[in-house]
Structure 1
Amino acid sequence: MTNADNVKSKALMFNLIAEIFYRYPDEELKKTISELDTSLFITNNTNLQDPVLILLKDIKQLAIETPLVDLKQDFNMLFLRPKGKLAYPWGSVYLNKQNRLFDLTTLAFMEFCKKYQLNFTLAQNEPVDHFSLMLVALIHCMELDEAEDNSSLNDFNESLCEHPETDRAATLLKLHLLPWSGRFLSLVVENSESKFYGATAQLSQILLEQLEQDYQISVEPVVLYK
């Protein structure tokens, strides 16, 4: 598989994950996921392919079988209720001692987005360091990096590791997403009553861990406050 194919595969999966964690569940979402052609979500790593496809099939099956009212209740408890969300989807909550939104880490990610012309059109005033929005930004960065590398590098691993700390995607992962996303995803897995969001979080964990290896990223330890 070429680097372009691999990026396309990752983009498909991260887009799916971003929509699941950001969009309030409705019948249209259930229908879309229920009709997924999981064969389109391919990887070039034989050790990764089997668990990824298993989780994709689990997510699809859970979308088919889980009543919409249960998905809505799960989404509310995890991400929406005014106080005591079980899995806050914003990075600053984990990185700020007072668990604040719109903190310095949010501003740092906003500066990163501004630098690379990543613009989000949001329906409401909310922090941009939402897990799903970071995945959308990550997809964009991976596609930009791949487009620049494509003319001179064909091997996937060589392409990723040529300049691992200067790639847009590697920078986003190292500085803005990976320091806190593991905690967020573990909370989703632990607290998802429907298991639908838990399976999606497990898929996220696998894909992000693989990218961390591919980009040879060493994440600096940080204190998490949530």
Structure 2
Amino acid sequence: MNQKPQEVLADFHFACQLFYQGLHQAPSDDFFQNIKDIPFAEIWGKSSNSSIQEGVSLITNELQSSSDLNTIRQDFAALFVGPNVLRAAPWGSVYLTEEQTLCGESTLAVKAFYRECGLAIDTGEREPEDHLGLMFAFMADRITRMHDALEAGGSIDGDMDILKSFLTDHVLTWAPRFLEVLHDNAETSFYQGLSQLIEGNLQLMASFTGAEYKIVRLFR
């Protein structure tokens, strides 16, 4: 049975919030417990997307194993925080600029996109706006607007165009490469599975919005 657009958007919103937390927030006790309570198989178990299927399998296997929160925290730090060289830098400019540094032209383009949409990303810390976790937070906000508009009988054409452009121009250009790096360098099945779950959901979001995977030069 085909889902209603509101149901599709609700699923995307849940996914974007999960991916924001998974990529941007250090795993806490509450986060770990919430992850354990998520019925991954119920939400995504019937998906025909192979990346989603693999992601669900890896995450559920991790949660059912003897792996503890400290192991996942250590993996998060090694991947995204440091102090050593990050195993999977989550910022777009690292992949899109030859210098592989933070706050490149691609970062400024993302910041300008947020500003044009009337949204300022403020986490209380000075950090580049092209962190993929923050980008999922932006998409979650936009998807909420779309869902509420449909519930009220309104149009989502404008927000759909915004989401399509954001995915095409700022996310799908580099996120697949980042997710490949994340999968290959994660030491826990949790982050390996998260990379696959994100990739599969991005594919579904691209199909839903009509967004395209552009071929661009990547430097990592």
Partner of 1:87: 88
CA contact (8 A) 2:47 2:53 kept: no
Q: How do 1:123-162 and structure 2 match up within 5 A?
A: 123-148=124-149, 151=153
CA distance in 2, matches of 1:5, 1:39: 17
How far did residue 83 of structure 1 move?
4.2
Q: Over aligned residue pairs, what C-alpha RMSD do you find?
A: 2.7
Displacement of 1:138: 1.3
Give CA-to-partner distance per residue, 1:62-108, whole Å, 9 cap, x none. 24532222112211211111442111000011111101111111111
Match of 1:173 among 167, 177, 183: 167
How do 1:213-224 and structure 2 match up within 5 A? 213-224=207-218
Aligned length, in residue pairs: 216
Decide which moves more: 9-18 or 199-208.
9-18
In the superposition, the TM-score normalised over structure 1's length comes to 0.83
Deviation at 1:145, TM superposition (A): 3.9
Q: Check 1:77–1:51 CA distance in 2 against 1; reply closer, same or farther (3 A cut).
A: closer
3-state SS in 2 of match to 1:25: coil
Q: Of residues 34, 37, 40 in structure 1, which corresponds to 2:39?
A: 37
Which runs of 5 or more structure 2 residues have no equivalent in the other structure?
none
Unaligned runs of 5+ in 1: 154-158
Q: Cα gap change, 1:192/1:225 in structure 2, threshold over 3 Å: closer, same or farther?
A: same
Shift of 1:54: 6.5
SS of corresponding position for 1:124: coil
Q: CA deviation at 1:24?
A: 1.0
Residue by residue over 1:166-193, the C-alpha shift from the partner in whole angstroms, topping out at 9 and shown as x without a partner, is 7111011011111000010001111111
